[in-house]
Amino acid sequence: MDMLFIKGKYKSALEVLIEMKNQDVKFTKDTYVLAFAICYKLNSPESFKICTTLREEALIKGEVLSRRASCFAVALALNQNQVAKAMSIFSQIMNPESITCSNLNIIIHIESNMLDTLIEILKNAAEGNLSRFVKRHAFSEEVLARVREKVKDVPALVAGFDEIYGKLHISGQVTTYTLDALLCHTPRDKKSHTLLLNKRTVSRRTFQPLSQSLLAE
């Protein structure tokens, strides 16, 4: 299933996933990550339903789903315009302190039209009086572009956003990597997840310029 994912054969990978479920194969934490990643990549009503069912069944069984798996589930829900579901899943992430979570949170606020709160989150991230030893939130240029598009017709917000955007850039809190790339990035210390990388579009070399502290899961 992992090799099918790497090769971009997501439908075939989903078929294997369904067969595993039908045979009552026990899923590990890594299996759930891969399963949700497959569903996210397919980005269809069917894959969303499968992801939702797998997640709900796992929670009923008392399984503890990783933050990484939950991020794929949130992203898929957002892509399927299921904002309330995305918010619900995100609210259950135990420790949402990662670059991926930060960006998903911004998109949730965009899609929920919570613009004042959205600007406040970005302002706090840009102006937070943190020591240099504390990891700062970082944001994807792609996600920030969506913020600008959302607030462009609100004069009271657009000026504030432009100022915040400048501060984020100056402090090195903006990355050119897309949300999809961040979702599929494999932390160096998570060798068990190395096969999750979509090697056609993302490689370890590609992520070399990124600060390890920004990408750490």
pLDDT band at 7 (very low <50, low <70, confident <90, very high): confident
User: Per-residue pLDDT for 187 more than 80?
Assistant: no
Look over the chain and give the mean of its residue pLDDT values, rounded to a whole number. 86
**Which amino acid would we find at residue 60?**
I
Cα–chain-centroid distance for residue 214? 13
* Cα–Cα nearest to 35, from 64, 61, 68: 68
**Is the pLDDT score of 199 beyond 50?**
no
Helix axes 99-111, 141-151, angle to 10 degrees: 20
Strand partners, 140: 175
pLDDT at 8: 85
CA dist., res. 72 & res. 31, Å (int): 13
Give the pTM. Answer: 0.84
> What is the Cα–Cα distance from 25 to 15, expressed in whole angstroms?
14
Per-residue pLDDT reduced to its tens digit, 8-44? 889 999 999 999 989 989 999 999 999 999 999 999 9
Identify the pLDDT of residue 50: 96
Looking at the chain, list the stretches that DSSP marks H as alpha helix, in order from N- to C-terminal side.
2-6, 10-22, 29-42, 45-60, 67-79, 83-91, 99-111, 115-127, 141-151, 155-170, 179-184, 212-215
CB atoms < 10 A from the CB of 43, how many? 13
CB atoms within 10 A of CB 130: 12
Span 109-144, pLDDT tens digits? 999 999 999 999 999 999 875 555 556 789 999 999
Angle between helices 155-170 and 115-127 (to 10 degrees): 30
Q: Which amino acid is at 120?
A: E
- At 132, list the tokens: 């240099």
Q: What is the pLDDT of residue 128?
A: 73
CB neighbour class for 189 (10 Å; exposed up to 12, middle 13-18, buried from 19): exposed
DSSP state, residue 190: -
C-alpha dihedral, 149 to 155 to 158 to 163, nearest 10°: 160
Mean pLDDT of 40-55: 97
